[in-house]
Chain A
């Protein structure tokens, strides 16, 4: 498994490699990349799942590379559309006061494992 540093170094190399083109979007994903991303996402892929995901990610990323055709320099990113609605957009934020929330007993009843006060999980720190 690659360290975060190695990961970033690789990303940086790939970006440099892509300098001849416009951006680093034509990168080919490797098995190690899939494993690293799965680790970041807390997904444990079964061995037979990895080649399929590798193939699909490369096909999709090849396709999204079409966006490289567009010059977007100077375009402000649009993260969400409320600004486009002007004054009719979201109402004012509610007052910052404590309101009643769900009852602990109700919430804990849904937990896979609990002592009725806390969620129980396996030990976090190895000795």
Chain B
């Protein structure tokens, strides 16, 4: 970007990979404190336009950077993410730092503890820069539902970055962090990764602890990383994954070396290549032509790299959006009951009785989309409608999950577009919530089934808008998804 030429004197070049940054810290060529300061300077310049960061955690970041520099100066071994500047989606809590979840109702709240994923990054030496903007309570697909204003896509600032983790994706794309954490309930990591041209990871449900993640839909919520390349994203997942006694749904499965897994070729000598499935249902009506062409180009590159490609059938895909919006809103209506103006966050001044305190605090504190989803979820759970809506959706959820399990008996990974369209314009879909929901068509099924996936840049449209391929793999097979994503990345599409 030519307009940045003047800023060059204060801007430390972005580390190309985490491995390179590590080597530079060990050799003394880079100091963690200099790197952190340069990122804060860059944030100061870029953030007013992009609205990526909601708050900064400078004191904590610089203390951590000083610790890393001290270790490096002594020649002591550095932890896995030493000195890496990382941003955190504002639905994950950091001790003493504001945690708004993009909502007015959490204004002023300063949580007294770290989320497990945050604590693990901290213990690995990461420098936590601040909290990233998102749709209110992670409800949205464009980050336009934030109470603190929309995020702009760094690729084209008239367009949305996707959502709900729009700040997390845009921060990596604009180099306002080397890596970030986001959360994904129905596509909230994968879709913004696709819109901003970065790598985003949906870990298997239970792979990363949800402790300290402000809950949206507990049976769907996942925490996952964003990075500029697949190997770095794999390294980050390796740090934040693992069992946590504070999350009863976290998996006890051992955590593999995901970065090493991502290094493996698609076809190892003497072995058959990975088997890729392509579901026709994800290439049907409604898919943008340029997105289709880009993904087909990616599939051709994977074939050339040694994969076998075969069609798979996921016939229930068309039922995924209604199923998702019933399950997610039902769970949300229960989870968001805790925001009542009593224990933390916003309290309405209009409160003569306890009941009016609840109602006014929630009315003034929640935005329109959150209210819409609470109403829909409450309706779906209310007496007389439970069987017709919530129970029905849970039954279809099983059909969708079983369909994936059958497919993964035949293929190692499934490749699809992440979103039916590239990044859309700000305001384009805000008037029509249903149209916004429909854009989640390719991401919600994996959410419902609990399987894992990686979104990786896979070419651009003629206008230069990024297109992301979604690589899905069976439960706990993140390594396979990373391998395939790595091959797409290496093809330089």
Contact = CB atoms under 8 A, between A and B. Distances in A.
Given A90-B251, A124-B353, A84 B397 contact: no
A98 interface: no
Interface string B431-454: 001100100000000000110000
Contact of A94 (B245, B351, B382, B394): B245
A105 to B, nearest CB: 10
Interface in A86-127: 88-94, 102, 106-107, 109-113, 119, 121-124, 126
B109 A72 contact: no
Given A8-B383, A79-B219, A88-B252, A41 B378 contact: yes
B394 A37 contact: no
B384 interface: yes
A1 interface: no
Max chain B C-beta neighbours (<10 A), residue from A8, A25, A70, A80: A80
Q: Say whether chain B's binding surface is mostly helix, strand, loop, or mixed.
A: helix
A85 to B, nearest CB: 5
Nearest to A119: B342
B410 interface: no
A84 B449 contact: yes
A38 B342 CA distance: 19
Contacts of A81: 205-206, 219, 401, 449-450, 475
Given A80-B249, A110-B110, A123-B354, A66 B318 contact: yes
Contacts of B204: 85
B322 A77 contact: no
A49 to B, nearest CB: 7
Contact of A24 (B340, B355, B388, B475): B388
A25 B388 contact: yes
Contacts of A46: 363
B251 A91 contact: yes
A63 B112 contact: no
B375 A43 contact: yes
B450 A63 contact: no
Contacts of B109: 110
Contact of A67 (B250, B322, B346, B362): B322
A67 B357 contact: no
A55 to B, nearest CB: 10
Contacts of A53: 371-372, 375
A90 B248 contact: yes
A42 B362 contact: yes
Contacts of A72: 392, 395-396, 399
B371 A45 contact: yes
Contacts of B248: 90, 93
Interface in A42-62: 42-46, 49, 52-53, 56-57, 59-61
Nearest to A126: B353
B40 interface: no
Interface in B388-411: 388-389, 391-399, 401, 405
Given A44-B362, A88-B476, A60 B325 contact: yes
Contacts of B358: 42
Given A67-B396, A112-B347, A49 B360 contact: no
B354 A121 contact: yes
Contacts of A31: none
A91 B252 contact: yes
B127 interface: no
B352 to A, nearest CB: 6
B401 A78 contact: yes
B374 interface: yes
6 contacts: A4-B383, A40-B378, A67-B393, A78-B395, A89-B206, A90-B206
Given A43-B362, A76-B395, 7 more contacts: A41-B374, A59-B433, A63-B322, A64-B393, A70-B399, A84-B449, A85-B476
Q: Across chains A and B, which 5 residue pairs bring their CB atoms closest together, nearest first?
A: A11-B384, A81-B450, A77-B394, A91-B252, A44-B359
